[in-house]
Structure 1
């Protein structure tokens, strides 16, 4: 019996991660090894990040989840600015907690750009 068959199907581990909100989703996404976006939403349990950071990520995503209730408009410029500022803070915290073994990208909702 091979080692692989004893452990069950091999689970793909993502070392490239994108921080991006999407409605009703956890805001971390795997990036396929080929360099294209893909791989799907990641479970917070699959990553070595603190419970505090997981909570902040959920709270940040919850702000975005409220947009459909407001006709997909930000309630105010201040709320929108704070959302983007928190996204950048979370990007830095993720990079710090995950360390050099992970490449963490951030999708900036304001510009539509992706940055590392």
Structure 2
């Protein structure tokens, strides 16, 4: 009997962990998953990097300072997506929400960066 993988979304959001169980409310602490210490650290750093783009006094002006920083953040997100998929195996299906495109990327788009 095959089990349906648990859908998990990698998505940065201010002041939250970057992991979300799809179809559930709230985000997911990476410590709740069987992930390597280094991947947990990378996820934390990626979330902190995004948090640093928040302008508390004027949230509408939040964002990366330039296009290059946006691209670097996106590439790191895609790297993390690949690492999550590898470490979590078939128990989870990991999706990536692109800040640049404002949507979840489909697998064909993700394979282009692998």
Fold in common (TM above 0.5): yes
The count of corresponding residues between Structure 1 and Structure 2 is 98
Match 1:57 to one of 43, 58, 76: 43
Taking the aligned partners of 2:66 and 2:49, their CA distance within structure 1 comes to 12
Largest Rg, 1 or 2: 1
- Kept in 1, the 8 Å contact 2:31–2:40? The answer is no
SS of corresponding position for 1:39: coil
User: How does the TM-score come out when normalised to structure 2?
Assistant: 0.78
Displacement, 1:63? 1.2
Displacement, 1:75? 1.6
Q: Give the structure, 1 or 2, with the largest relative contact order (CA under 8 Å, sep 6 or more).
A: 2
**Structure 1 vs Structure 2 CA RMSD:** 1.7
Match 2:69 to one of 73, 79, 88: 79
